[in-house]
Amino acid sequence: MSKLGNVIGFEVRRNLKKKTFWYTSLFLPVIIIAVFAITHASSNHASSSSQQQTSSYSKTAKLGVLDETGLVNKQVLLRDHIVIEPNEQAGIDGVKDRKLTAFFYYPKNVTQVGIQVFAQDQGIAFTPPYNALASQLLSQSAVATVSSATHDSEAVQILQKSPSVTATTYKNGVETNGLAGIVAPIIFYVIFSFFVVMLSYFMISATTEEKENRAAEILLTTIKSRSLIIGKILSIFVLGFVQIVIIIVPLLIGYALFHNHISLPGGVSLSHIPLDAKAIAIGASVLLLGLVMFTGILVGFGSLFPSAQEASRYLGIVILSAFIPLYAIGYVVSSPHALIVTVFTYFPLTAPSTVLLRNAVGTLSTGDALGVLAMLLVTATLSILFAVRAFNYGAMAYNRRISIKELFR
């Protein structure tokens, strides 16, 4: 096996044995699962509790109604033992005098001013579904009116439940994937973000361990610094791959089991994810070069410091720069030619996330894509050279920080 292979094998093995690696790897999926489970349980509980409360409330509440629209179905009111009030003030007084639990007032111009609800305060622990009931009363009446007037069951169904929409979009006369087209290329952005957040500490501390342990000197007489740095970078990628597998396997299992039941916003179904070869190729290339660039910068940066603890103080600055484009997401998505988007697209530290987002939402031209890939290729190469130089100079500065000026003197 080559020395490079030995470095990768050794680094991967020893990092896989570290508890911190598994803590950070399992932290995210555990949090995702926990949040999902809690949200799901809480939502189910709230829904069931609300249904119970509404049902119980509907049975026990004394309701009054004044309908100036003439839309509310009298039979529905009679069915539910709802009192019709002579005027608005009488209804309000009924609530104030506790004769009514709630009073719903439907003014003539209800579509403009809305339904007025007056009700007893039941305390903060229980919020009765006044608004839902008032609205439901009107919509049920409307459905009943349409039903009796047209006898058209489809029209009634449409009123009761909005039909699903399937959109087909075209660009330059060619059918596009619409919102569903975002799913595959956005995965590259997610992976990039994941790598930067989860592995940046491993990147910045990749060489500080050798310095802290005083092993750099013997290593540098045994293996070329370039091979060592490349080996360390590749081992970080392997570790990142392991972490992604840890996260993705449960997601894939979930997808396999539930893909027909899960829909994303905008009616995008996970049962059919369109794959655009060009977008995927650009996404994969930007991801790879962006990661190499970031890793090179962080490994090199770490080499300038005597300890991982000292180096990691500056980690936030680099991570933040990767995510700054998110603050301008509106421009990135809707105004790709805005100056700020152009700057983010071509500034090395912000380029990967900006370009991956633009690639996903379809606002990245082929020219921009090629320009950014060329720029990333150059900066990724320079970042590796920086890392090698920084390690060469910093490796034996055991107790002090090397300045950038000193590095290029």
Partner 1 sequence: MPSLDSKNLNNSVVDVQSFAMNFGRKEVIKDLSFNVKRGEIFGFLGANGAGKTTTIRTLLGLYEPTRGTLLVNGERYNPNMSANIGYLPEERGLYRNEPVINTMVYFAVLHGLSESEAQKRAIAYLKRVGLADKANERLVKLSGGQQQKIQLGVTILHEPSLMILDEPTEALDPVNRALLMDIINERQAKGATVMLVTHRMDEVEQLCDRILLLKDGSVALYGKIDEVKEQFGSQIIALNYSGKLPVNDKLYKVTKRLPHHAELVWSGNINTDEVLHFLANQHDLHITTFEVRRPSLNDIFLELYKDQEGKNV
Residues 179-238 that bind partner 1 (CB under 8 A): 209, 213-224
Reduce the DSSP state of residue 145 to 3 states and report it. Answer: helix
User: What is the smallest separation between the CB atom of 9 and partner 1, expressed in angstroms?
Assistant: 9
Non-local CB neighbours of 230 within 8 Å, separated by 6+ positions: 4, 384
Residue closer to partner 1, measured from CB, 205 or 359: 205
Q: Is 404 in the site for partner 1 (CB under 8 A)?
A: no
Number of residues that bind partner 1 (CB under 8 A): 23
**Residue whose CB is less far from partner 1, 226 or 259:** 226
In terms of CB distance, is 145 or 392 closer to partner 1? 392
CB proximity list for 10: less than 8 A, separation 6 or greater: none
Q: How far apart are CA 186 and CA 326, in angstroms?
A: 13
**Bridge partners (DSSP) listed for residue 381:** none
405 lines the binding site for partner 1 (CB under 8 A): no
Does position 26 bind partner 1 by CB under 8 A?
no
Q: Are 96 and 108 in contact (CB under 8 A)?
A: no
- Closest contact distance (angstroms) between CB of 6 and partner 1 is 5
Angstrom distance (rounded) from CA 403 to CA 400: 10
Q: Are 333 and 361 in contact (CB under 8 A)?
A: yes
* Helical spans, DSSP H, in 68-222: 74-79, 88-96, 110-113, 130-150, 153-160, 180-204, 208-212, 216-220
DSSP state of 85: P
For helices 225-258 and 366-394, the axis angle rounded to 10 degrees is 130
Give, for 268, the enclosing helix (H) or strand (E): strand 268-269
Which C-beta is closer to partner 1: that of 45 or that of 400? 400
Contact window for partner 1 (CB under 8 A) among 10-18, 261-269, 284-292, 372-380 = 10-18
Q: How far apart are CA 304 and CA 318, in angstroms?
A: 15
Instruction: Considering only the stretches 67-75, 267-275, 283-291, 390-398, report the one whose residues sit in contact with partner 1 under the rule CB under 8 A.
Output: 390-398
Q: Closest CB to partner 1 among 3 and 74?
A: 3
Closer to partner 1 by CB, 1 or 124: give it: 1
- For residue 344, the minimal CB distance to partner 1 (Å) is 40
- Nearest CA to 245 out of 25, 31, 16 is that of 25
How far is Cα 333 from Cα 283, in angstroms, rounded to an integer? 16
CB of 314 to partner 1, least distance (A): 24
CB of 339 to partner 1, least distance (A): 44
Per DSSP, the three-state class of 13 is: helix
Spatial separation of the C-alpha atoms in residues 274 and 183, rounded to whole Å: 8
- Least CB distance from residue 18 to partner 1, whole Å? 8
Does 14 bind partner 1 (CB under 8 A)? Our answer is yes
276 lies in the site for partner 1, by CB under 8 A = no
What's at 253, amino acid-wise? I
Taking the least distance from each CB to partner 1, the nearer of 24 and 147 is: 24
Cβ neighbours of residue 263 closer than 8 Å, sequence gap 6 or more:
269, 270
Q: Which of 396, 401, 403, 404 is in the footprint of partner 1 by CB under 8 A?
A: 396
Cβ proximity to partner 1: between 190 and 404 the closer is 404
Residues of span 68-97 touching partner 1 by CB under 8 A: none
Of residues 206 and 357, the one with the C-beta less far from partner 1 = 206
Would you count residue 398 as binding partner 1 (CB under 8 A)?
Answer: yes
23 binds partner 1 per the rule CB under 8 A: no
Work out how close the CB of 218 gets to partner 1 at its nearest, in angstroms, rounded to a whole number: 6
Residues 6+ apart with CB under 8 A from 245: none
Kindly indicate which of the ranges 5-13, 70-78, 185-193, 305-313 contains the residues binding partner 1, using the contact rule CB under 8 A. 5-13
Binding site for partner 1 (CB under 8 A): 1, 3, 6-7, 10, 13-14, 209, 213-224, 395-396, 398
